[in-house]
Amino acid sequence: MCSQKIFMILLFSVTLNFEFNNGYKILGIFPFPGKSHFVMFEQIMRELARKGHKVDVISHFPLEIPQENYRDFSIKGTAPETQNNVTFQMIENISQFFWIRDFLQEEMNALCDILGHSVLQDFIKGPLKKTSYDLIVVEIFMNPCFLAFGHHFKIPIIGVTSSSLYEWMNEPFGNPLSTSLIHQSKNDSFIVNFFKRLINTASTIHAKLMFDHYSQEQNNYVRKYFNDENFPNINQLEKSVALVLVNSHYSLTGVKPLTTSIVEVGGIHIQEDEEKLPDDIQKWLDNSNNGCIYISFGSMVLFETFPRHLIEAFYEAFQNLPQFRFLIKIKKPDDLKLKLPSNVKTFSWLSQSLVFKYKNMKIFITHGGMMGGLESILNGIPMIGIPLFADQLSNLENLVQRKIAISLDWKTLNGEQLINAITEIFQNSVYRKNVNKLSKLYKDRPLSPLETATFWIEYIGRNGNVLQSPATKLQWWQLELLDVYGFLLLITFAISYTVYFIVVKLFKFFIFITFTKNLESKKKQ
């Protein structure tokens, strides 16, 4: 009996050791210097490391506390820091209609220059070139140039995005656009009339063409830094992606067709941890007996650089709603040049998910970013949105349609409008009722977002690139069946013409016979 127990213990130990030694070696590449993006990717990579996989991570945000199996390759300082570093004037310079062009030309294309950094060159030409990786995980946003590492190492590449799928992210992965049903720019599913379908189709085509055209410059960076003029272009690299993990969920972004290789993991960045709020913030929230309103315009935008009319609108709300407390993200409160009322407390950086868990938190005033919106919904907090650019407008319009948010235009916003919006949400219980209903639906899943992500990453590790849609092998005109419809039209035309030809000939023949008979009849008379 004793020997049997010893055998079982040894077998169990060998099994554990076997599983550990067969963990995957995974390279993570996250070139965008946005902390709000990286919080999602960090959770994925840390969980993979916790499960025993060897993880190497190239990013601007090395871990503050080292973790076993997680190795940082820092590129911090290679791109302008975005956290608390974007002024309102920068946002004003972004064209709403041409924001894709502006982002690519001014920021994203140049980000590919990081491929020349010594850290990445070590993986391209240096000592890490022959590292035996099993998988690559890379952010897909507006930098397909970094997908080149999949071809470089000849291994499956997994894309992750901190937003829902943009218009240009469907076709490369073989995912149907379905502009007749899915409003691409509003993250929602609905049946629309002809005019709306026309506008939706036109705006989707516009976004796709804009991205496809202005991103082509990234081919030059790939060929330069991989030193290969025959390197596959970025369009081909996009079609090689084995799996895409998307920060969305049908409960929020609507029911839409997704291929097997696209998996929704919305809310993955929201995790339970041991982090605590600063004592002064915690006390402030505890004493907010009438309710606290949380104000943040994301990790990048500086509130103190807002135009005067916007800041004055907030001051008017602070002063006319003394019964409520306001917690607002401001990096340099002294730059406001106006003394804040006693019911306002500022901070430069906080864990939002911890703030939202407080029972006294009643409203979230936001720019409409996806991350903050997910955190707010998860905790059942209605929102007031003041969208600034990009997908923030569509994110908020979706929430407004669901009556869990009120959206205000920053260009015309005044104090009265802001006060009315706050009062409406406090007095109308439908907002909180709707957001709690959505929160319940959002949480109802067979696996957590993090468990879902790690399962599918390991699935690709076990099975390779087996989920890819066959649509990636087709040309757009084949995918839209233009050749089939053209052939059917040709056949229909040929049959119709043949029938027409026969009918005309028969008719003429009948006329001829009739005429001949009439002529013969007259001759006999």
For the beta carbon of residue 42, count every other beta carbon within 10 angstroms.
Answer: 20
d(CA 149, CA 136): 8
Which of 153-157, 272-276, 412-416 shows the lowest per-residue confidence on average (mean pLDDT)? 272-276
DSSP characters over 307-370 = -HHHHHHHHHHHHH-TTSEEEEE-S-GGGG-SPPPTTEEEES---HHHHHTSTTEEEEEE---H
Tell me what pLDDT residue 20 has: 44
Look at the alpha carbons of 353, 355, 359, 361 in this order and tell me if their dihedral is positive or negative: negative
Model pLDDT, residue 2: 46
Q: Which of 472, 507, 16 is nearest to 237 (CA)?
A: 472
Indicate whether 9 pLDDT > 50: no
Residues 132 and 25: beta-carbon distance below 8 Å: yes
List pLDDT tens digits, range 494-520: 999 999 999 988 888 888 888 777 777
SS3 letters across 219-268:
HHHHHHHCCCCCCCCHHHHHCCCCEEEECCCHHHHCCCCCCCCEEECCCC
Average of pLDDT values for 249-275?
A: 82
| Beta pairing, strands 325-329 & 292-296 | parallel
243-246: strand order across its sheet: 70-74, 54-59, 25-29, 135-139, 157-161, 243-246, 262-264
State the pLDDT at residue 11.
42
pLDDT at residue 191 tops 60: no
Q: In sequence order, what are the beta bridge partners of 407?
A: 385
pLDDT: which is higher, 95 or 198: 198
CA atoms within 13 A on the CB side of 212: 14
Q: How far is residue 301's CA from residue 296's CA, in Å, rounded to a whole number?
A: 9
Q: What angle do CA 126, 128, 133 make, to 5 degrees?
A: 145
What digits encode the pLDDT tens for the residues 456-494? Answer: 999 999 999 999 888 888 887 888 888 899 999 999 999
Q: At residue 215, does pLDDT exceed 60?
A: yes
How far, in Å, are 137, 142, 233, 236 from residue 216 at the CA level? 22, 11, 8, 12
pLDDT for the residue 273: 62
Bridge partners of residue 511, in order along the sequence: none
Confidence (pLDDT) at 154: 94
Mean pLDDT over residues 400-413, rounded? Answer: 89
Q: What is the pLDDT of residue 372?
A: 84
3-state secondary structure at position 410: coil
Q: Based on C-alpha coordinates, what's the Rg of the chain?
A: 30
Residue 207, class by beta-carbon neighbours within 10 Å (0-12 exposed, 13-18 middle, 19+ buried)? Answer: middle
What is residue 6's predicted lDDT score, i.e. its pLDDT? Answer: 45
Q: Quick one: DSSP state of residue 303?
A: G
User: Over the stretch 225-259, which tens digit does the pLDDT of each residue have?
Assistant: 998 888 999 999 999 999 999 998 888 777 888 89
Range with the largest mean pLDDT of 199-208, 344-353, 476-485, 491-500: 491-500
SS3 of residue 71 by DSSP: strand
> What's the pLDDT tens digit per position in 13-34?
434 443 444 689 999 999 998 8
Q: CA angle 137-40-190, nearest 5°?
A: 100
Q: Give residues with Cβ within 8 angstroms of 120, minimum separation 6.
A: 58, 75, 114, 225
Q: Which two tokens stand for residue 447?
A: 């696996």
* Distance (Å) of CA 338 to CA 27, 308, 333, 347, 377: 48, 11, 9, 16, 33
**What are the φ/ψ torsions at residue 452 (nearest 5 degrees)?**
-65, -45
Alpha-carbon distance 299 to 196, whole Å?
A: 34
Tokens of 133: 């990786």
**Percent of all residues in the chain with a pLDDT value above 90, rounded to a whole number:** 43
Secondary structure element (H or E) that encloses residue 421, with its range: helix 415-427
Q: Do the beta carbons of residue 120 and residue 152 sit within 8 Å? A: no
CA distance linking residue 24 with residue 20, whole number of Å = 9
Better-scored residue on pLDDT, 280 or 274: 280
Q: What is the mean pLDDT of residues 427-456?
A: 93
pLDDT of res. 7: 40
Judged against a pLDDT cut of 60, whether residue 367 lies above it is answered with yes
Tell me the pLDDT band of 395, cut-offs 50, 70 and 90.
confident
Residue 58 has pLDDT above 90, yes or no: yes
- Positive or negative: CA dihedral 513, 515, 521, 524: negative
Could you report the per-residue pLDDT of 283-332, keeping only the tens digit for each? 888 888 888 999 988 777 778 788 888 888 999 999 999 999 999 888 88
Q: What is the pTM of this model?
A: 0.82
